[in-house]
Amino acid sequence: MLRSRLLRGLRLALPMAALLFVAPPMSGCKKANLVELEVPASGVELRYDLQPGATFDGKILRRETLSSRGQQLNRSLSFTVQLVVRGLDEKGNALVAATIANIDIDWVVPGMPMSMDEFAQKSKQRLEGATIRFFVEPSGRVFDVPSAPPELSDPEAQVLDSVLEGLTSAFFVVPEEKLAGGGTWENSDTRGREGKLGKYIVETNRGALEGMFEDTEANFSFAQLGIERDRTETTTTKDGSSEIRVRETTTVQFDTGANYLRSLESKMTRTQGPTVTTVRFQADWERGASSPVAADMGGGDAPPADAGAGDAAANGDASVQRIDDPCSDDYVGPDDCLDPCSVNYMGEEACEKAEDGAGEAPAEGAPAEDAAAPAE
């Protein structure tokens, strides 16, 4: 699924890499209110300050276009989220509770046995007010995101997966090192064995500190970064191989005073055979007033089971589907798949069961797992 693929992609993205251009500040800030600041000689270190009780209000919008063999599918999803930091673990990772509201769905799902208006209304009733828990590292890497509970219908699970993907995309994984004025960074990574059974991934991230600015009207300062991602994923089976190519550009505004992500805009194009998926994503955050919270380190394992699950989901009352196998397509977590015969294996060992057809890939042109295809 897209969500699990995205999280695995985030593990590959540290540190990110360098753009060859400097873009103007994003549309979220009016240029008339912006004053360019000098980057400190010691550089800028970006880290999230997620203390217990901190609250953040977010707006998330995702628009997707999928084109294949002359046919086109358009979908959009937007929602607001109130995020509360519930506690910190011994490593400083924050357990956050995200409550979803104001869901707006405009989807076309081929073969849907109900009207789209009915589908959208039913999905809103099931998911509006739901609270989802997961962990965020100080770098912004997200982990332990729950899967959809099995009692949800397939369309409802797709909507929940899209919401989860939107939440995880709304966190930017910051560079590990300090950034100097005009500083750029680049990272290339390969996983798996080229030309062998299984997956072989080549990913390059390029980024730049495009500048520091002060919004004189809103009274905050931010660092603006630009990132380009180039990823090629080749899956090889005994019957042949298929390739997925991802190109993505992202612009980030990170509040350097309050230490959190102010806004993120990205455009991703994903190509698999004749299928091209384009996704435009926008996330905006504002820090709210802190509130006292009770320590709650129970883990992020409770998405909603029914309409308005809300705090019941956060308290673990809903049925939960936990995926503990790192080789599962739906696994979300830090561990790598260790089975050489799985298509999700990225190690160096050969599959001794290759002759039995283990590790086969989806057919060329099938909807991609980390694309915004109908099964996101």
- Residue 60 pLDDT level (bands cut at 50, 70, 90): very high
The predicted pLDDT at position 41 comes to 87
The C-alpha atoms of residue 354 and residue 333 are separated, in whole angstroms, by 27
> What percentage of the chain exceeds 70 in pLDDT?
70
CA distance 279 to 63: 6
- pLDDT at residue 373 tops 50: no
**More confident position, 231 or 192:** 231
Using a pLDDT cut of 90, give the percent of the chain over it.
38
- Cα three-residue angle 159-160-166, rounded to 5 degrees: 90
Q: What is the pTM of this model?
A: 0.68
Would you call 351 helix, strand, or coil by DSSP? coil
Average pLDDT, the chain: 76
pLDDT at 301 exceeding the cut of 60:
no
Q: 38-42, 112-116, 326-330: which range is least confident on average? A: 112-116
Beta strands in 69-152 (DSSP E): 71-88, 94-106, 131-136, 142-143
Three-state DSSP at 64 gives strand
Higher per-residue pLDDT: 375 or 37: 37
Q: How confident is the model at residue 80 (pLDDT cuts 50, 70, 90)?
A: very high
Residue whose tokens read 């802190």: 290
Give the pLDDT confidence score for residue 364 in this predicted structure: 40
At residue 131, the pLDDT reads: 92
pLDDT of residue 328: 73
Strands (E), the chain: 34-37, 55-68, 71-88, 94-106, 131-136, 142-143, 184-191, 198-215, 220-237, 240-255, 260-272, 275-287
What is residue 289's predicted lDDT score, i.e. its pLDDT? Answer: 80
Averaging pLDDT over each range in 272-276, 315-319, 355-359, which range is the top one?
A: 272-276
pLDDT at 293: 59
Q: Look at residue 65 and tell me whether its pLDDT is greater than 60.
A: yes
Q: What pLDDT, on a 0 to 100 scale, did the predictor assign at position 253?
A: 95
Residue 333's pLDDT is what? 55
Q: What is the pLDDT of residue 30?
A: 57
Is the model more confident about 124 or about 364?
A: 124
Q: What's the average model confidence in pLDDT over 158-171?
A: 86
Q: Lowest mean pLDDT: which of 119-133, 184-198, 355-369?
A: 355-369
User: Over 50: is that where the pLDDT of 365 sits?
Assistant: no
Q: Is the pLDDT of residue 25 over 70?
A: no
Q: Is the pLDDT of residue 372 over 60?
A: no
Residue 91: pLDDT above 70?
yes
pLDDT higher than threshold 50 for residue 300: no
Read off the pLDDT of each residue in 167-185 and give the average, rounded to a whole number: 86
pLDDT at 343: 66
H-run or E-run covering 116: helix 116-127
Mean pLDDT across 240-258: 94
Average pLDDT over residues 224-228: 94
pLDDT band (50, 70, 90) for residue 120: confident
